Structure formats: structure tokens, C-alpha cells
Structure 1
């Protein structure tokens, strides 16, 4: 058959491309074919060489080739057209959304019978302005250059009102007495402090202010709506109130001063009234009106005696009801100490051995005779007595301060000394007694010491303290043998050094004769000397209790 061109995807059956025919002079002929396929220049195109063979009954054959060209002249099929897209303006060109839309071929889908499809579009970067659409043609091209197109639009639209990022704020200003023009104009110019933003365009502010309403004095207010409008005509509003008010309290230029007066015993009425009338000396002023003074005094509080005090709040109020206060205290005080008209007197008493309690207590109870007077209240006496300062024996002394205190705590003092003295000597209840002892030849030491230790038998007593004994013994006066005597003065001394004495004599006597042994009787010649003790013998064993020199 002749060369055949077949569209890619169509049948290449001989019924479509042509069948070979053959004749033989000697019989019937059988025709067969075989294909050899070579890739075409694009896509799935091909060049097929089909070899036809005719064979007769005797096996003779002959072959010829047929060329079949599989070609692609068919455009791709747009299965799904591109779809319009509308996005809300993000102020940055919405590049991400548009790029995704473009990359996705506007949602279009195409197919081709002979191979893959490549997409392109004619987007040139044009921007949509306030919802004006931009047309984009998406073209599907197959491998052999056949194309089909679908067109859609993208629109960047601005349907969102501007965002009020900061609402307008109420502004309240203190009355300046001249309408606060600068404050108002600044607030309006600044859109009440409101801040708005828009993703797609710049913002223009307007407001509906006309005038302030009248309030007290030069005060007033206005409710103002501020409107933020973007380039596409979308708008948002925020409302705030501008107020001129007088909330400033009057100024206390001079604070009220405390006043303290000395008690006059009659309530110090004139002092108090003068102080209240002058507002305690306070002075006030107000920028926006007059000042009226009041105070909250009711009565004086009771204090000591005829004194008292009152904490008074003075109030300065302006025309708009603002007020300031200043507080001061009016005080009637008693700062004068009682007068000691008679001072306390010292007292000295003789020790009675038991603390002289009655005399001491009587002295304390009578403030030692002190007398005090006070102009504003009664007097209470106290003293600081805590005990006697120990001295000798049961004596002692106390320096006592007597304090006269009035009802307000003012006090005066007077001091006196209470003294317990011991001026009396001890009493010798039993006088010392003389003692005579028989000489023992050794000084009779034990007898002497016992007599001295026993104070010669003397006894003494003292009403105020214990008694200590001493004596003036030195030595015995020499007499015959080991005898002798001593006149001894015994002194009884009390704890305060007062003393009494008693005297006695200690005597050692010898009234005992010596002892000895007489020689034995002897006989001598007449002419022998009877005084010759060598002949007659001498006494022996001579002894005496008081003398060794016999």
C-alpha cells in the first residue's frame, strides 16, 4: 500500500492504513506483513516500516515495504478550565497566593493523546487595583508543539475595613479658663490618639467635631467620632469624648497651723474661737472659682484636768464642688509643774534593832513633811523608796525622792534622807570578875587563856548589833617565884564601833610550902662541926610547885 499518515493514538491496522494485494499465474497467493518501529521526532510519534510478503503455493515469495507515519497534529484537550481567583489584599501584592495560582495553572487540567503537556501563562506582573481583575491565559503545549489555552482572572480585592489598632481615647483636661483650645486641637489633630492600619492602602482620617457642650464654668465636653478611610473607600470609626473639667481641688497655699495654749481653767474660749474663725491660719486659692471655708469642729476632747484638744479639718470648696482640706490641732495643755511649797525634811532615828519600821513608814506616808500645790489639777505623791542602804548593825539610810505629779503628768520632786543611827554603847550586863589561881610553876597558861577567852566572865548586849570582845592583856607582872598578876580591861564593841569596858585582875599566888627529905639521924664526935653537912648529911628531894631555886 501507499505511505500512510496516522494520527497518534489512532489504529494502525491494515484496515486503516491499507492492505497489499498480489497475484500469481500459477496458483493462489498468501499475503503477510511484519512491522519495524522507529521513534518519531516528538512525543509518542513513530515511523513504522511494514514489510509485506506475498507467497504462492509453490513457496515462491516477493516482498515490498510500506511506510506508516504516526504523527501528532492534535491540540491538547483542556479537561478543566482555569478558574478565576479573588484574594483579599495583603498590602504586599499577595505574591504567594498569586504564585500558587499561577503554578497551579489557575486550577486548569489538560491531557494529550500523544504525550505529556507543558503549561505556560502570559502573566506579566500586572497588579490588581481595588478589585480590577487581571486576565491570565494559561497555555497547554504538547511535545509536538500543539497548544490549547484557557483564560481566567485574578483579582486582589480590598473588602476589609481599616483596622483600628488603638481606639480613640477619651481626653479629660483640667479647665484652663480659656476653653483649652490647644488641648482640643491637639486631640483632634491626633485623632484622639487613635491608630488605624490597612493592609492595602494608606488611610485618611476625618472627624465630626462641631462644638463643646456647656458645663459648669468654662468646662464642657464633646463626643467625637473619628473615621479612618482606606484607598478603596472602606472605613472604620472610633469614638471618644473630649472633656474639660474642673477636678482640681483648691490649692492650700498656707496649711492650717496647730495651736497650743496653756490651760486657763475656763476652756480657753477666746483662743479657740479666734483660731476657728481664721481657719487655723490656712489660706487657699482656686484657678477656676471662688473658695468657701468650712470646718468640722464639734467639741474639745477631755484630757487631763481642764485641758483638751480637737483635731479640726478645715475644708476649702470651689464652685465645682472640688475641695481641699487642711487639718490642725487645737490643744489646751498643762505644762506647768506643781510647786513644792514645803520641801521634804531629813529624819534621823536611833536604831531599834528591827528596822525602825513604824518611824520609816510614817515618814514616807507624810512625804517627809513635803507640801505641793498645782494650778490645774490635783496632786498625787509617789516616792522611789526601795529599801535602806545597809550600814553597821541594823542601821541604814535611804535617800528618798518624793514626787508630786499632777493629772497631766507634770511633776516636781523633793529629796530627803532617812537615817537609822546607833549612838549607844553596849550594855555590860555582867562585869568581868577577878580570878586568883594557885601557881603551877608554868605560868598557869590554861587558866589565864580560859579567863581571857571568857572575857573574865563578863556579859554584854547591844540593841542594834552583835558585840565583839577584846582585851588589853600584855603580860603578868613578876612576883615571887612564878607568881604574878595582870589587871585586864575587857572591851565590848558593837557593829557601829560603840564600846563599853569592864576590868578585872588575874592573879597567880603561891600558898603551898616546898617539900624535901630530911637526912637520917647521925652521931658525931663532940669536937666535930655540927654545921658540916658532909658529916651530918643534907636534905634531899627538895621540890616546890612554884619555884625551882630552893
Structure 2
């Protein structure tokens, strides 16, 4: 062989197929001592692995034969195939890098399931070794990175450069309110302090796309009146902040305070009702000055509106009612039910006689007809505790004799009735009629006196039959009592006097003065001779 031993030996990368082809195409050259063509016989060796699939040798051998059949020694060519080139990543650097929201668990799982792809210069399976990085926080619990690395190793143990995948986890999503808008809104009566405290203690709930505590910041609104002191709103707002400082939209709670409850009367019904005598003007003024008291469910001044009723008669002028009404209004214009005060005015007091008892009593002589007429015309006077005309009812008594016809009494009575029919006590007038006047002789003194001749028996009889006449100041029969005097001689037997006396007694026993009749008997006539002259 003119070709040097190992001249055709070569070491090729397993990927150098052109080099392999060129090496396989080579042939050693032999020379012969004689001319003539040399023929070559090549024995092409199979690839013999040297431990890994892509490294080994091809051992080719030749013999050269001259024209006379002389065979040379074997010429050996060893083509060494080696694999010293590590796999190369066909996946571009940062191709598997991804930024995910912390809530994207599916995305994280998908990213973690990804794998870069490497290619090797030679055939054969590439094995991948992944080093899975733990989560490294970048300042807040839900934000950070997973750093995964791979190396690719070919069948000959050539190890690629490190392929790095960075999965960035970020939390850019603010918490979302799971409490519905207006869920915490409430309308409360202004008096519902427990309800207000409960409403103020409420808090909306937010959820975050990622784990971790949510902090709530409440801005508590002051009470804003909506027109009246006890009606308005508290507007509270919250923001929810997650661990990475993402701030939710504002959640608003409106607590509406309304005052729809009217004041309630703490004064009992009929508490101010009163019944007064019509004369009790001070009591009436005090009753009219009274006012019921109301309480309101909420703070604030209560205003009272009084409608003062006129006097309404209940049948008589001084009896009736004043009906006063009030409504109580709170600061929000809620008007209470009507409170009614009935002031009942009654007239139960009868008139009282201002004329003193016995003021009209009188004692009159039975003859005093003018006095009697005047007494009968008198009338007592009553006063009433209340205004209004008093009517008088007189019961005129008949004459009642007290033992004699012209003495006795008239008893007149009156009752006074006011406009409400109250009747006074009975007022009594007693007109006492007396007869204290004795009869008076209408026959003049000495009118019945007479002087008679003792012989005038007819004259004497006539004189004795006479009687004086008396008159009485009052009607009624007069009785006469005559005391007939005996003859009283005045010195001679036929001369003297008869002294007769009378008293006149009226029906009441009044005895007149004594009426005296003197019948004077004289004898002034001389005897007359009954013997005839010259008898």
C-alpha cells in the first residue's frame, strides 16, 4: 500500500453526513512491482456503536490484487463517528415566558405543562430535565415568579444550555364586590337607633381573584339633611384592597333616615276635658290656657296648632261646650291625630235671692188697701251666677184668716228660674193683715142726748130706743154693747138722768171708746089742777 496506514482514518461528527460520505468514498492506493492493473476489494464495515447510539466506528478494509492474483495485506480505514455537540433549543428564548393573572390557575397549569423543544445534530431521542422553581414573591403575596429551567441531553450525554421559562404572576385585578349594589341600603325611621347602629355596623363583602386577605376601608358619611332635621341620609363608602394593593371600585351604602311617624299625644284623651259652672270664669280661662303635650319618635321641637272652638249652646244660653282641637307637627311636617278638649259649661246653680228673707213681709191695717196693693205689687229680686234673664213665677196666696174676718195673712211665694231651668228656693212674702183699730162713732157726741119732761114717756121710750152708729175701718159687722143706766135723781124724785153707754166691737174684738147718751128728765111743769075750777 502506498497509502499510509490510517491515512484514510477520520473522526467525524455524527451529524457530518457529507464527511461520512466522503470518507466512505475514499479508497487506499496500492502499487505493484509489475505493471498491470490492480483491483481493489473493499469490505465495508457496519457501524459499531461505542456506547451511545450516535458514536462508534465504521471499519472498512481493502485488499489489492494484481493481475497475477497476488493479494496485498489488508488496508484498514477506521471512520470514527463521535457526538460531542449538545442539543440546541429550537424553542426561542423567552418563548415559554408568560405573564398571568394570579387567578388564572388554568393558565398557570398550562404554562407549567409547557416544555421547550431541542434539536440534536444527530438522530436519537433527546431527554429533558426540568427544574421546577418555587413561587418567589415580588413584594405582595399574589405577585411573583415561577422560574423553571430545562436541560436537553442527547443519547451521548451531551447537555444543552439551560433553557429558562419565567412565569410571571401578577395581581392587577382589584377585588370585586360580592355584595350586590344597594344590598346594604336601608330606609329607617329616625327613631330606629338600633336599626341605625345595625346598618352602620354592616359591611359589604368583596372577593378577590386570588387568595389572600382583603382589607376594607370605610369612609363614614355624616348625616345630610334632606329638608327637615330628622330626615336625610348617611352615605358610607368602602373600598376593598387586596394584598397587592389593587383597590376595588367604591361600594356605596345609603342609609335613608325618614321621619314618617307623627307625634303621639302623651296627654291622655279627655285629660284636658273639664266641666265648669258657667260662672267660673277663672276656671274657664285656666282651661282655655291648657295645652296637651305630644312626644315625637325623634328629636326636635314639636309645634302645636290650636283651633279654638266657639261656644255651642246645648239647649240653654249658659250651658254648652267649647270644643278646642290641637294638632302637633314635628320638624318633618308629620301631623298628629287631633287632640280634642271639651270644656263643658253647665248651669246647675239656681238663682239666689238678693232680696233678704222677709224683706217684702209687711203688716198692714186691714183698711190699708193702698198698702196692700203696693205690697202685692212688690216682687223679690234674684241674681244668677251666670248672665241671662231670670224669670219669676209668683204663686199668689189667698187671704187666710187668723181668727177674725179682717185679720190674717196673704202668703205669696216666688221661684226664680234661670235660662237653664234652675229653680231657686222659694221666696216667701207674708202680708199680715191686722185689725187693731176700734170702731169709731159716726154718731156725734151728745147727738143722742135729750132732755125730756118727766111726763114724756114716749119721748123717753124713743130716746131709750136710739142707738149710736159706729163705723169700722174694715169691713165686717159691728156689734154694739149697751149699758143702760138707771135713773139717777138729781134732787127731786122726777128730775134726774138716765146715762146709757155703748161700746162698738168689730169682728176682731176691737172695742170703741164709750159712747154716752144722757137722757135728762126734768120736771118743769107745775101741777095742774085736775079739780075743776070752782069745783
User: Which is greater in Rg?
Assistant: 2
Question: What is the TM-score normalised by the length of structure 1?
Answer: 0.44
TM-score of the superposition, structure 2-length normalised?
A: 0.45
